[in-house]
């Protein structure tokens, strides 16, 4: 039986069209875009700026506001640590939610260790942060507010624009980890009101090892300090020879995602809903986590109260599922995201994440639901 891949929040397969666009930049257009005095360099430089425009088009940014990085982890670190290092106001209050990705939480904890006041913006049982609570917590000493666009485990989409409005009223910087949202739901930096936004190619059917950071123009001079020093290739904010195959791949992935966005949202959410309906018809106590009315189209966070998630997954050799964030796999501790929304340790450890994506088909619904139900019934009968 073929393997059905349902872990598209961990990573996505590289779209063949993306790979095709990348291949010439390994062997034919191999020049360094910084060497613009000869044809090889100029062709690379043109491709670099073309890709920058493609990323900008998808997120509503100007090309000059797009900084290429090695991925969302670097983008998040550059945004958070770079903004703190570049600050000249003396503000020391920083705010984020407890369900952010570790690539946001760890830089915040580092700043806390350096004397910054780390304030947690709580989330409710759906994983949703509240703008009213943000109003009470954000003040004129707040330097930075970071709220993810959508959660990587439970799929909840956050009211970033409302929180950003509050933050800007106090002159704070707003960062958004948009890694899970870009290419899956409409994400526009202007409409969402963010100053900094992170994204990664491998979460939208592009290659691994490349990402981008949106940096609004007011940060371009002195307000965002680089973490990697060198030639300053990316507007002085990020140094290092450009990964041209990866950057071209990211650009092409953004083009494809933008063209397919509306149709894919409906198609993928339809498959998700169909699977959940089939499972609930047999497993009535199945719990679906997150904000069910406002979540990522391909996300299902499912708690099987009588079965531990690792046992269920091990009994599904033909399905690729996960227990939560792929970046935390291997730990026996329950998901910090699930405990933050009030779930017990037992419930958290019985939770499986299902992530539908571009290359799933309606045929996967029947196959996946049948296998999950059979495994569940087998384990509960032991």
Q: What is the pLDDT of residue 328?
A: 52
**Residue, of 333 and 322, whose pLDDT is higher:** 322
pLDDT value at 330 more than 60:
no
pTM of the model: 0.96
Per-residue confidence at 292, pLDDT binned at 50, 70, 90?
A: very high
Same fold, 4-11+261-380 and 16-255: no
Per-residue confidence at 14, pLDDT binned at 50, 70, 90?
A: very high
Q: Rounded mean pLDDT of 262-266?
A: 96
Task: Specify the pairing of strand 196-200 against strand 173-177.
Answer: parallel
Looking at domain 16-255, its CATH architecture is 3-Layer(aba) Sandwich (3.40)
| Lowest-confidence region among 133-137, 215-219, 242-246, 353-357 | 215-219
Q: What is the pLDDT of residue 382?
A: 72
- Domain spans of the chain, in order of start: 4-11+261-380, 16-255
Q: What is the pLDDT of residue 332?
A: 65
Q: What is the pLDDT of residue 256?
A: 99
DSSP letters for 2-23: PPEE-BTTT--PPPHHHHHHHT
Q: What kind of fold does domain 4-11+261-380 have according to CATH? A: 3.90.1150
pLDDT, tens digit (0-9, with 9 covering 90-100), for 154-172: 999 999 999 999 999 999 9
Per-residue confidence at 331, pLDDT binned at 50, 70, 90?
A: low
- The tokens describing 283, both together, are 């497993």
Q: Rounded mean pLDDT of 171-194?
A: 98
pLDDT, tens digit (0-9, with 9 covering 90-100), for 200-216: 999 999 999 999 999 99
pLDDT, tens digit (0-9, with 9 covering 90-100), for 187-199: 999 999 999 999 9
Bridge partner list, 120 = 96
The residues assigned a catalytic role are: 327
Q: What is the mean pLDDT of the chain?
A: 96
Q: What is the pLDDT of residue 337?
A: 98
Per-residue confidence at 333, pLDDT binned at 50, 70, 90?
A: confident
Per-residue confidence at 221, pLDDT binned at 50, 70, 90?
A: low
| Lowest-confidence region among 52-56, 234-238, 249-253 | 234-238
Q: What is the pLDDT of residue 65?
A: 97
pLDDT value at 335 more than 80:
yes
DSSP 56: H
DSSP 230: S
pLDDT value at 220 more than 90:
no
Q: What is the pLDDT of residue 267?
A: 98
Other C-beta atoms closer than 10 Å to the C-beta of 380 total 11
pLDDT, tens digit (0-9, with 9 covering 90-100), for 71-112: 999 999 999 999 999 999 999 999 999 999 999 999 999 999
SS3 315: coil
Packing angle, helices 39-59 and 244-282, rounded to 10: 30
Residues making up the chain, counted from first to last: 382
Query: Counting beta carbons within 10 angstroms of the beta carbon of residue 265, is it exposed (0 to 12), middle (13 to 18) or buried (19 or more)?
Result: middle
Torsion of CA 328, 283, 364, 263, to 10 degrees: -80
Distance CA 149, CA 301 (A): 17
pLDDT value at 326 more than 80:
no
Type and span of the H or E element at 33: none
pLDDT, tens digit (0-9, with 9 covering 90-100), for 23-37: 999 999 999 999 988
Per-residue confidence at 305, pLDDT binned at 50, 70, 90?
A: confident
């Amino acid at each position: 039986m073929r393997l059905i891949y349902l872990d598209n929040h961990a990573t996505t397969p590289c779209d063949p069209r993306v790979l095709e666009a990348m291949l010439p930049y390994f062997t034919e257009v191999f020049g360094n875009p910084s060497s613009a005095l000869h044809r090889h360099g100029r062709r690379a430089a043109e491709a670099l700026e073309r890709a920058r425009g493609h990323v900008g088009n998808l997120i509503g940014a100007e090309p000059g506001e797009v900084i290429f990085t090695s991925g969302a982890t670097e983008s998040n670190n550059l945004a958070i640590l770079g903004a703190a290092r570049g600050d000249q106001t003396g503000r020391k209050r920083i705010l984020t939610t407890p369900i952010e990705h570790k690539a946001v939480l760890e830089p915040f904890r580092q700043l806390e260790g350096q004397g910054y006041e780390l304030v947690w913006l709580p989330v409710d049982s759906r994983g949703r942060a509240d703008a009213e609570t943000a109003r009470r917590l954000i003040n004129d000493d707040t330097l930075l507010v970071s709220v993810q666009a959508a959660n990587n485990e439970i799929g909840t989409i956050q009211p970033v624009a409302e929180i950003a409005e509050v933050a800007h009223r106090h002159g704070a910087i707003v960062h958004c980890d948009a890694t899970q949202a870009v290419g899956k739901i409409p994400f526009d930096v202007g409409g969402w009101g963010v100053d900094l936004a992170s994204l990664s190619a491998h979460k939208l059917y592009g290659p691994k090892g490349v990402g981008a950071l949106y940096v609004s123009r007011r940060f371009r001079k002195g307000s965002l300090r680089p973490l990697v020093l060198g030639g300053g290739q990316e507007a002085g904010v990020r140094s290092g020879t450009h990964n041209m195959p990866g950057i071209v791949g990211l650009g092409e992935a953004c083009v494809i995602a933008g063209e397919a966005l509306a149709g894919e949202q409906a198609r993928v959410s339809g498959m998700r809903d169909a699977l959940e309906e089939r499972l609930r018809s047999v497993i009535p106590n199945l719990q679906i986590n997150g904000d069910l009315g406002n979540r990522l189209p391909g996300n299902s966070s499912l708690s099987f109260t009588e079965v531990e998630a690792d046992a269920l997954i091990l009994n599904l050799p033909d399905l690729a599922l996960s227990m939560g964030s792929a970046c935390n796999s291997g730990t026996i501790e329950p998901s910090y995201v699930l405990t933050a929304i009030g779930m017990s340790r037992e419930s958290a450890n019985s939770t499986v994440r299902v992530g539908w994506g571009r290359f799933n088909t309606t045929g996967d619904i029947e196959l996946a639901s049948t296998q999950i139900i059979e495994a569940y019934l087998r384990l509960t009968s032991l």
